[in-house]
C-alpha cells in the first residue's frame, strides 16, 4: 500500500496547443482535506477534471492506491471511487431533484428495471442527512441557485466516494448552510474519505483544510500544511509577488443624484427596490448569488421590463423599454458573465468594441470601416488592451484582456451612469488592480458607478455606499464608515421576518 | 438548513394543472371528438375509430423514435427516406422470394433500418456533423438509393405475396396487426424511457450534455444508439408501409419526416432537448390522425383539409409551447 | 468558456503592451476563407470533369437553359443565408412559394390581370414571412417549430386555393420571367435577376450595420440585446424578406413551367438549406458568406447538370449532393480530430470499428445482390 490514496506525477495538459497544466504533481492521503489554491486560470479546475476523468492528461501519471490508472471518462474515475462537485452547476434542468442526485446510477431491481421507490426513499434519506428539505419531485429548473448547489452536493455524497472533489461548493450558500456543509465534510474526513477542496475564500481553508497546494499559471508552486502558513504567504504564492494596495480608494465628492430608482418590482425576482445613485460615487451592491442584484441591473438597463416602479435619470422620469433607449440615456452596463452576455469570442476586437455605436459609423446603414476601426483602436488603446492587432479575435485574449475590451466597448459610449456587474470576476490580480484604479478615475471625473460584486473585500474597498440585497429585497444601505464584512453578511443572509429590515 | 424561497411564491392551481403536460392536449382532443361526434355520429363508429388507429400506427411508431432523438437534442430528417428504402428493398426481396416466412421479412426490415440508422450515428458521433445537417444529407442519399436500387420502377400489389400484405392487415385479435405492433412499440419505448438507465440517460444527454459527461454517462454511446433505434423503427415502418399500401414506390413516405417531427412537437417534446413523454407523443399522433379524419367526415372540401390541418398543427404547437413556458419559471444555468 | 479563459499566457506574452497599429491590410483574395477556396476548387474540378464526359456541356445554349433551373433555389437561398446566420431556420419557404404561386394562379383564373395577380402573390408571400417572423421574434418560439407549422399550413392553403386545378395559359409577356433571355445575350432573365439580387444581398450582409447585426445575433443573441441591437425587428425583417423572396421564386417557377399546381416547389426547402450550408454557412449561426453560398449553388447546379448530361436521374443525383453536404463538414472535422490529439487505439475500439465495417459490408453486398434480379427483370 502506498502512503497516498491518490498521487499525480508531472501532469501536463494542453487545450488547442496552449499548455494549461505544466508538470503538476499532487498527493492526497485518506482522511485529509487537501485545499487547492490558485487564481482563476491557474489550472485548478482543469487539474480536478483530470482527476475525475473528464479530461485526459497529455503526459504524466496518475496513481490510485499506488497503482497506475488511466481514466478514459468520468465513469472510469467513478468506478475507482472518485466523485466531484464542479464549479459550473451541472444539473439537468428538466429532471427532478431525486433523479438529478442519482443520474446515471439509478438504483435498479435485479431485472435492471429502475426502482423509483428506492430512488425517492434514498434521496429523501440523503437530503435529510444533509439537513436539507426539498420537494423531491421538483424540476431542477425551478430550484434556487443555493438549492441547486445542495443537490449537487447530495449527488457527490451519494456516491460514497473514497476521494471527493469539491470545486467552490460554498459560493452561493448562506453562512448557516456553509457551517452545515463543513460539519459534513469533517465527518467524512473522520470516516477516512480524502477530500480535495477548492475555495477562493482563504479563511474557509484555514478553518477546514489540513494541507494546501498552490498552483500558478498552470504550474505547481508548493504544498504546505496549513498550520505552517499565513494568509499573506498564501497570497504571495498564488500571485507570485506581494500586492500592496488592491483597493486604491480615494474618497470623491458625490454630486447630485443622476439615477433614482423607486419601488422597482418584478414578481419572483425582486420587490420594492429603491435607491439613488449620485454623480461621482461608487455604489456597491452586495448580496448572495441569486439575491436579485443582476435582475435589478438588467431592469434598469431595459433588458427585461419591470412590473411596477419608476426610474428617474437626471431628474427625468424615463420608461426604459430597451437597452437601445438606456444607451441613449447615457447608461452603460458591463454584464456579469463575460462569455454569455459580454464579448463575442469568435468576432474581432473592432466588431466587439464598435457594436453599441455601430450606427454612428454608418451613413444610411453603409458602414464606414475606417472610422469604425480607428475609433475602436483608440478605445482599446485607452484601456491598454494587450493584443497583437485590432483584428484579433476576442477569444484569443485572456479573461483580463477580454474584460478590458468590454470596458473599452462601453466607455466608448461615453456613459454618465456605469453599471458594473462583477467587474473583476475571473481576472488576474494585475488587471484587477487596473480595473479598480480605472473605476476610481472615472468616479473622480464625475461618472456615477453602480458596482455589483460578490467579493466582500472589493465591495468594502471600492464603494462609497453599500446596498445589500437578499431574496429580491434591499435589506440595508450602509455608508463606507459603518460597513464591515460581518454587517454585510448579516444583512445578506438574515431571514427577513427575524431581522430588522433597514 | 434554511432553504431559500423566491420572493413571491407562485402557486396557482391552474398553473399546477397545466404542468401535467398531456392535459391540455387531452382536453383539446376530447373537445374535438365531442364536437365532431355530435355533428356526425358516424365519426364515433367502430369502423371509423379503427380506421383512425390504422392511419396513425406508422406515424406513432416513427414519431416515438423521433422523440428519443429529439430528447437527446438531435433530429432525424432521414426517417422518411429510410422508410422508402427499406420498403423498396424488403418488397423486392419478398417479390423474388415469396415463400419465406414473413417474420423474417420483418426482421430483414429491422436489420436494414438499423444499418441505415448506424450510418447517421457514425456521421454524427465520429464526424461531429450537427444532426440536422447529417440527416439532411442522408435524406438525399437514402432517397437517391431508392431510385438507384429500383431504377425508378415500382413494385405493385400483384407482385407481392398475400402473406406479406397480411403482416399489417391480419387481425388475430380485435385490432389489425399494425395497430397491435404500434401498441407494443409504444409500451416498449415507454418502459425503455422510464424504467431503464439507458433510457434516462437520453434525457440527461439532451438536458445537459456536459453535465451528463461529468456524471459518467457515455454520451457518445447514447447518441450512437438513438439514431440506430430510429433506423430500426423506420425499418419496421418501411415493412408495414409496403404491406399496408401493397406497393413500394420510389416516393414512398416522401415528406413524412416533418410529419413525425410535428407529431412529437405537438405532443410536447421540446425541440431544445431533455423533455418529452411517450403518452404526449401518442396523443400528438392521435390528434394529427383525428384532425385528418374529422375534416373528411365533417365534409370540409378535401382541398382545404390540408390547410386546416396545417393551421391546427400550428395552433397546437404554439399554444402548447406557450403553456409550457408559463408553467415553468426558467432558471439561468 | 473553459477553452478561452485558458488561452491566457502564451498568446499574451508575445503581444505588445498595447495595440498601436491596424492589422496589415489584406487584399480581397486573402479575405477568402478556406471554405470559399474549397468551393472554387470543386467548381473548377466539376467544370473540367463535365467537359470531359460530355461534349454537350460547354455549349452556351445548354448552359444557359441549365442555369435557369436553379434560380428559384438561389432566390430563396439568399434570405435563407441571412436567417441561418442569425441561428434560425425557415422550413416554410417552399410551402410559401406554393401558396403565393397558387394565389396568383387563383386570381389569374378568376380573370385578374397577371401582373396585379403577381403583385398580390408577392404581398401574400411577404405576409406569410411576416407571420413567421412575428411568432419567432415576439412569441419567442424556436424557428424550427414555427416554420414546421407554417410549412404544413402554407402548403395546405396552396391546395385550398387551386385544388386539383392548374393555372395555365399565362400570357407570353409573363412567361418571359422564367423563360426569356436578356436582350441580345444568352443569359436568362432569371439569372440576371438572381445575380443582381445576390450582389445586393452580399453587400447588405458584409458592408452594412444590418449585416453586422445578423452575425452578432447569430454568434451571441444576448450580447446583441445588451448592446442595443433591435433583435426582434431584425428577425421580423429577415423572415418577411424570406417570404417575399419565396413568392418571387414562385412567380419565376410558375413562369418557367408555364403553369401552376398547388404542389409546385414541394420539397425545395431542404435543397435551399443544403445549398446554404454547403456554402459554409454555419447551421448554428454566426458564420457564413454570400460568396460561399453562391459558389455552392453554382457547384450544385454544375453537378446536377453534368449528371443529367450522362442520364443520371434527378433523385440519384441526390446521392452525390447528400454526400457532398455531409463530407464537406465531415472531412475538416475528421482532419481536425486526427491532428488535434493522439487517438488511443485499444481493443474495444478496434473491435467495434471492425464490427461497423463488417455490417456495412454485409449491407452493401445485400444491396447489390438483391438488386440484381430487380434490374434483370426490367
In this predicted model, what pLDDT tens digit does every residue of B74-108 receive, in sequence order?
999 999 999 999 999 999 999 999 989 888 999 99
Most confident of A495-499, B231-235, B253-257, B274-278: B231-235
Paired sense of beta strands A67-69 and A59-64, if any? antiparallel
Q: Check if the beta carbon of residue A341 is closer than 8 Å to that of residue C227.
A: no
d(CA A418, CA A450) in angstroms, rounded, equals 6
Q: Check if the beta carbon of residue B212 is closer than 8 Å to that of residue B204.
A: yes
Residue of C nearest to B320 (CA): C141
d(CA A398, CA A427) in angstroms, rounded, equals 8
pLDDT range class, residue B260, cuts 50, 70, 90: very high
Q: Tell me phi and psi for residue A66, to 5 degrees.
A: 80, -5
CA proximity to A285, closest of A470, A499, A500:
A470
**Is B123 touching C (CB cutoff 8 A)?**
yes
- Mean residue pLDDT across chain C: 87
d(CA A28, CA A49) in angstroms, rounded, equals 15
pTM, entire model: 0.85
b/e map A195-222, b = 16+ CB within 10 Å: bbbbbbebebbbebbbbbbbbbbbebbe
> Which ranges in chain B belong to alpha helices (H)?
13-19, 21-39, 46-71, 79-96, 102-121, 131-150, 162-169, 177-195, 197-207, 209-214, 219-245, 256-266, 278-298, 302-327
Q: Is the pLDDT of residue C294 over 60?
A: yes
| Per-residue pLDDT, A495 | 53
pLDDT range class, residue B242, cuts 50, 70, 90: very high
Partners of residue C339 in chain A, C-beta under 8 Å = none
Q: Which of C10, C24, C212 sits opposite A18 (nearest CB)?
A: C10
Q: Is the pLDDT of residue A41 over 80?
A: no
Average pLDDT rounded to a whole number, residues B25-41: 87
Cβ-Cβ contacts under 8 Å for A470 (sequence gap 6 or more): A287, A288, A291, A491, A492, A493, A494, A496
| Per-residue pLDDT, A244 | 56
Q: Check if the beta carbon of residue A132 is closer than 8 Å to that of residue A153.
A: no
Closest Cα of chain B to A59: distance in Å? 21
| Per-residue pLDDT, A3 | 82
Question: Which of A482-491, B55-64, C217-226 has the weakest average pLDDT?
Answer: A482-491
Closest Cα of chain B to C155: distance in Å? 7
HSE, CB side, 13 Å, CA atoms: give it for residue A367. Answer: 21
DSSP states along B100-115: S-HHHHHHHHHHHHHH
Closest Cα of chain A to B145: distance in Å? 38
Q: Check if the beta carbon of residue C114 is closer than 8 Å to that of residue C108.
A: yes
Q: Which of B1, B7, B208 sits opposite A92 (nearest CB)?
A: B208
Question: What 3-state class would DSSP assign to B176?
Answer: coil
CA proximity to A448, closest of A481, A413, A415, A408:
A415
**Is A105 touching B (CB cutoff 8 A)?**
yes
Phi-psi region of A186 (alpha: psi -120 to 50; beta: other; left: phi over 0): alpha
The CA-based diameter of chain A, rounded to the nearest angstrom, is 76
Q: Check if the beta carbon of residue C250 is closer than 8 Å to that of residue C93.
A: no
| Per-residue pLDDT, C30 | 54
Closest Cα of chain C to B2: distance in Å? 32
pLDDT in tens, A45-88: 889 999 999 889 999 999 999 899 999 888 888 888 898 888 77
pLDDT in tens, A185-241: 898 899 889 999 988 777 788 889 999 999 988 889 999 999 988 888 887 888 776
Positive or negative, the CA dihedral A300, A305, A308, A312 is: positive
Q: Is the pLDDT of residue A267 over 90?
A: no
Q: Check if the beta carbon of residue C229 is closer than 8 Å to that of residue A347.
A: no
Q: CA C351 from chain center: how many Å?
A: 39
d(CA A198, CA A46) in angstroms, rounded, equals 12
d(CA C297, CA C65) in angstroms, rounded, equals 16
Q: Check if the beta carbon of residue C270 is closer than 8 Å to that of residue B137.
A: no
Average pLDDT rounded to a whole number, residues B158-168: 90
Element (H, E) at A68: strand A67-69
Chains that touch B (3 or more CB pairs under 8 A): A, C
Instruction: Tell me how many residue pairs between chain A and chain C have CB atoms under 8 A apart.
Output: 150
| Per-residue pLDDT, B10 | 43
Chains that touch A (3 or more CB pairs under 8 A): B, C
The C-alpha cell 440506430 sits at B228
b/e map A288-321, b = 16+ CB within 10 Å: bbbbbbbbbbbbbbbbeebeebebebbeeebebe
Q: Check if the beta carbon of residue A114 is closer than 8 Å to that of residue B200.
A: yes
Q: Check if the beta carbon of residue B293 is closer than 8 Å to that of residue B48.
A: yes
Instruction: Tell me how many residue pairs between chain B and chain C have CB atoms under 8 A apart.
Output: 178
d(CA A82, CA C131) in angstroms, rounded, equals 53
| Per-residue pLDDT, A501 | 37
End-to-end alpha carbon distance in chain C: 60
Does A268 contact B7 at a Cβ distance shorter than 8 Å? yes
pLDDT in tens, A123-163: 999 888 877 888 998 988 888 777 888 888 888 888 888 99
Interface of B with A in 183-242 (CB under 8 A): 194-197, 200-201, 203-204, 207-208, 210-218
| Per-residue pLDDT, A246 | 63
Q: What are the CB-based long-range contacts (under 8 Å, 24+) for A198-201?
A: A198/A35, A198/A36, A198/A37, A198/A44, A198/A45, A198/A48, A198/A87, A198/A165, A198/A166, A198/A167, A198/A168, A199/A35, A199/A168, A199/A169, A199/A170, A200/A168, A201/A170
**Is B254 touching C (CB cutoff 8 A)?**
yes
d(CA C287, CA A354) in angstroms, rounded, equals 19
Q: Check if the beta carbon of residue A73 is closer than 8 Å to that of residue A53.
A: yes
> Which ranges in A383-469 belong to alpha helices (H)?
399-411, 429-444, 456-462
d(CA B111, CA A278) in angstroms, rounded, equals 73
**Is A161 touching B (CB cutoff 8 A)?**
no
Element (H, E) at A22: strand A18-28
**Is B1 touching A (CB cutoff 8 A)?**
yes
C5 or C83, greater pLDDT:
C83
Closest Cα of chain C to A206: distance in Å? 28
| Per-residue pLDDT, A425 | 76
Amino acid at each position: 500500500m502506498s502512503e497516498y490514496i491518490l498521487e499525480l506525477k508531472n501532469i501536463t495538459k494542453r487545450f488547442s496547443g496552449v499548455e494549461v497544466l505544466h508538470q503538476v504533481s499532487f498527493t492526497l492521503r485518506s482522511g485529509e482535506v487537501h485545499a487547492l489554491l490558485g487564481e482563476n486560470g491557474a489550472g485548478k479546475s482543469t487539474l480536478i477534471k483530470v482527476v475525475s476523468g473528464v479530461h485526459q492528461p497529455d503526459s504524466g501519471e496518475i496513481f490510485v492506491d499506488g497503482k497506475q490508472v488511466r481514466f478514459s471518462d468520468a465513469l472510469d474515475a467513478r468506478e475507482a471511487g472518485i466523485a466531484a462537485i464542479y464549479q459550473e452547476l451541472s444539473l439537468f434542468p428538466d429532471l427532478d431533484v431525486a433523479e438529478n442526485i442519482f443520474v446515471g446510477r439509478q438504483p435498479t431491481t435485479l431485472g435492471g428495471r429502475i426502482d423509483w421507490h428506492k430512488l425517492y426513499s434514498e434521496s429523501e434519506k440523503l437530503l435529510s442527512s444533509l439537513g436539507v428539505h426539498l420537494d423531491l419531485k421538483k424540476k431542477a429548473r425551478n430550484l434556487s441557485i443555493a438549492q441547486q448547489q445542495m443537490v449537487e452536493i447530495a449527488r457527490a455524497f451519494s456516491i460514497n466516494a473514497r476521494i471527493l472533489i469539491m470545486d467552490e461548493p460554498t459560493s452561493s450558500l448562506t453562512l448557516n448552510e456553509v457551517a452545515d456543509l463543513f460539519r459534513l465534510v469533517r465527518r467524512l474526513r473522520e470516516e477516512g474519505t480524502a477530500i480535495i477542496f477548492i475555495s477562493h475564500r482563504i479563511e474557509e481553508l484555514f478553518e477546514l483544510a489540513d494541507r494546501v497546494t498552490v498552483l500558478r499559471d498552470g504550474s505547481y508552486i508548493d504544498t504546505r500544511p496549513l498550520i505552517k502558513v499565513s494568509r499573506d504567504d498564501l497570497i504571495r504564492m498564488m500571485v507570485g509577488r506581494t500586492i500592496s494596495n488592491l483597493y486604491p480608494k480615494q474618497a470623491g465628492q458625490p454630486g447630485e443624484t443622476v439615477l433614482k430608482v423607486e419601488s422597482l418590482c418584478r414578481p419572483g425576482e425582486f420587490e420594492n427596490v429603491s435607491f439613488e445613485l449620485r454623480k461621482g460615487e461608487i455604489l456597491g451592491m452586495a448580496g448572495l448569488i441569486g439575491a436579485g442584484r443582476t435582475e435589478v441591473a438588467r431592469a434598469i438597463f431595459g433588458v427585461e421590463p419591470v412590473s411596477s416602479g419608476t426610474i428617474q435619470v437626471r431628474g427625468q422620469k424615463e420608461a426604459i423599454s430597451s437597452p437601445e433607449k438606456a444607451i441613449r440615456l447615457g447608461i452603460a452596463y458591463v454584464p456579469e458573465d463575460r462569455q454569455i452576455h459580454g464579448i463575442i469570442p469568435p468576432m474581432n476586437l473592432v466588431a466587439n468594441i464598435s457594436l453599441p455605436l455601430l450606427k454612428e459609423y454608418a451613413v444610411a446603414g453603409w458602414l464606414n470601416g475606417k472610422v469604425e476601426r480607428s475609433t475602436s483602436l483608440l478605445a482599446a488603446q485607452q484601456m491598454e488592451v494587450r493584443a497583437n492587432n485590432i483584428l484579433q479575435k476576442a477569444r484569443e485574449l485572456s479573461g483580463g484582456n477580454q474584460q478590458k475590451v468590454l470596458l473599452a466597448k462601453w466607455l466608448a459610449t461615453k456613459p454618465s451612469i456605469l453599471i458594473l456587474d462583477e467587474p473583476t470576476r475571473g481576472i488576474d490580480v494585475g488587471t484587477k488592480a487596473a480595473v479598480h484604479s480605472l473605476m476610481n478615475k472615472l468616479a473622480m471625473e464625475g461618472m456615477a458607478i453602480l458596482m455589483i460584486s460578490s467579493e466582500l473585500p472589493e465591495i468594502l474597498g471600492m464603494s462609497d455606499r453599500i446596498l445589500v440585497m437578499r431574496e429580491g429585497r434591499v435589506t440595508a444601505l450602509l455608508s463606507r464608515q459603518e460597513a464591515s464584512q460581518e454587517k454585510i453578511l448579516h444583512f445578506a443572509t438574515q431571514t427577513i421576518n427575524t431581522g430588522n429590515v433597514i | 438548513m434554511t432553504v431559500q424561497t423566491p420572493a413571491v411564491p407562485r402557486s396557482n392551481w391552474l398553473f399546477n394543472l397545466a404542468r401535467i403536460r398531456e392535459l391540455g392536449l387531452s382536453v383539446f382532443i376530447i373537445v374535438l371528438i365531442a364536437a365532431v361526434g355530435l355533428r356526425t355520429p358516424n365519426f364515433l363508429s367502430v369502423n371509423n375509430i379503427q380506421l383512425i388507429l390504422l392511419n396513425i400506427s406508422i406515424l406513432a411508431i416513427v414519431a416515438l423514435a423521433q422523440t428519443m432523438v429529439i430528447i437527446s437534442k438531435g433530429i432525424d430528417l432521414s426517417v422518411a427516406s429510410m422508410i422508402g428504402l427499406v420498403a423498396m428493398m424488403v418488397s423486392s426481396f419478398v417479390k423474388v422470394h415469396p415463400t419465406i416466412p414473413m417474420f423474417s421479412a420483418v426482421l430483414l426490415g429491422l436489420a436494414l433500418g438499423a444499418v441505415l440508422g448506424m450510418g447517421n450515428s457514425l456521421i454524427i458521433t465520429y464526424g461531429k456533423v450537427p444532426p440536422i445537417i447529417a440527416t439532411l444529407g442522408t435524406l438525399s442519399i437514402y432517397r437517391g438509393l431508392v431510385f438507384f436500387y429500383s431504377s425508378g420502377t415500382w413494385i405493385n400489389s400483384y407482385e407481392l405475396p398475400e402473406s406479406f400484405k397480411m403482416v399489417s392487415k391480419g387481425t388475430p385479435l380485435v385490432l389489425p396487426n399494425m395497430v397491435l405492433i404500434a401498441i407494443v412499440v409504444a409500451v416498449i419505448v415507454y418502459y425503455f424511457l422510464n424504467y431503464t438507465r439507458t433510457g434516462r440517460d437520453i434525457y440527461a444527454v439532451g438536458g445537459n450534455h456536459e453535465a451528463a459527461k461529468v456524471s459518467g454517462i457515455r454520451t457518445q454511446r447514447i447518441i450512437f444508439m438513438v439514431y440506430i433505434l430510429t433506423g430500426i423503427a423506420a425499418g419496421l415502418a418501411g415493412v408495414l408501409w409496403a404491406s399496408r399500401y401493397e406497393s413500394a414506390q420510389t416516393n414512398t413516405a416522401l415528406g413524412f419526416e416533418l410529419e413525425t417531427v410535428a407529431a412529437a412537437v405537438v405532443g410536447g417534446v421540446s425541440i431544445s432537448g431533455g423533455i418529452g413523454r411517450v403518452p404526449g407523443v401518442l396523443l400528438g399522433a392521435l390528434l394529427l390522425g383525428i384532425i385528418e379524419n374529422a375534416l373528411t367526415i365533417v365534409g370540409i372540401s378535401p382541398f382545404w383539409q390540408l390547410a386546416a390541418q396545417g393551421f391546427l398543427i400550428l395552433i397546437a404547437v404554439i399554444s402548447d409551447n406557450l403553456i409550457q413556458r408559463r408553467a415553468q419559471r426558467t432558471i439561468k444555468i | 468558456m473553459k477553452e478561452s479563459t485558458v488561452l491566457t499566457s502564451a498568446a499574451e506574452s508575445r503581444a505588445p503592451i498595447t495595440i498601436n497599429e491596424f492589422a496589415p491590410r489584406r487584399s480581397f483574395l486573402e479575405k477568402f476563407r478556406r471554405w470559399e477556396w474549397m468551393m472554387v476548387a470543386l467548381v473548377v474540378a466539376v467544370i473540367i470533369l463535365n467537359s470531359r464526359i460530355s461534349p454537350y456541356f460547354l455549349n452556351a445554349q445548354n448552359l444557359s437553359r441549365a442555369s435557369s433551373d436553379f434560380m428559384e433555389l438561389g432566390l430563396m437561398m439568399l434570405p435563407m443565408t441571412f436567417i441561418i446566420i442569425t441561428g434560425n431556420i425557415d422550413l416554410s419557404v417552399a410551402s410559401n412559394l406554393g401558396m403565393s404561386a397558387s394565389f396568383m394562379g387563383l386570381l389569374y383564373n378568376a380573370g385578374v390581370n397577371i401582373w396585379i395577380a403577381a403583385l398580390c402573390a408577392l404581398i401574400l408571400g411577404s405576409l406569410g414571412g411576416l407571420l413567421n417572423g412575428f411568432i419567432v421574434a415576439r412569441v419567442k418560439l424556436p424557428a424550427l417549430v414555427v416554420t414546421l407549422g407554417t410549412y404544413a399550413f402554407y402548403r395546405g392553403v396552396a391546395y385550398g386555393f387551386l385544388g386539383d386545378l392548374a393555372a395555365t395559359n399565362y400570357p407570353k409577356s409573363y412567361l418571359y420571367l422564367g423563360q426569356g433571355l436578356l436582350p441580345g445575350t444568352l443569359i436568362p432573365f432569371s439569372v440576371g435577376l438572381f445575380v443582381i439580387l445576390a450582389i445586393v444581398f452580399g453587400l447588405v450582409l458584409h458592408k452594412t450595420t444590418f449585416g453586422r447585426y445578423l452575425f452578432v445575433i447569430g454568434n451571441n443573441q444576448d450580447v446583441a440585446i445588451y448592446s442595443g441591437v433591435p433583435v426582434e425587428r431584425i428577425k421580423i425583417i429577415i423572415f418577411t424578406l424570406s417570404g417575399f423572396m419565396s413568392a418571387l421564386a414562385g412567380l419565376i417557377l410558375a413562369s418557367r413551367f408555364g403553369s401552376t399546381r398547388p404542389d409546385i416547389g414541394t420539397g425545395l426547402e431542404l435543397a435551399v438549406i443544403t445549398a446554404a450550408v454547403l456554402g459554409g454557412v454555419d447551421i448554428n449561426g454566426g458564420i457564413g458568406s454570400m460568396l460561399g453560398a453562391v459558389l455552392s449553388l453554382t457547384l450544385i447546379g454544375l453537378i446536377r447538370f453534368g449528371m443529367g448530361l450522362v442520364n443520371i436521374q434527378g433523385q440519384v443525383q441526390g446521392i452525390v449532393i447528400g454526400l457532398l453536404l455531409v463530407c464537406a463538414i465531415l472531412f475538416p472535422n475528421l482532419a481536425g480530430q486526427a491532428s488535434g490529439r493522439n487517438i488511443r487505439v485499444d481493443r474495444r475500439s478496434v473491435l467495434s470499428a471492425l464490427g461497423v465495417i463488417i455490417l456495412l459490408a454485409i449491407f452493401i453486398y445485400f444491396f447489390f445482390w438483391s438488386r440484381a434480379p430487380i434490374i434483370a427483370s426490367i
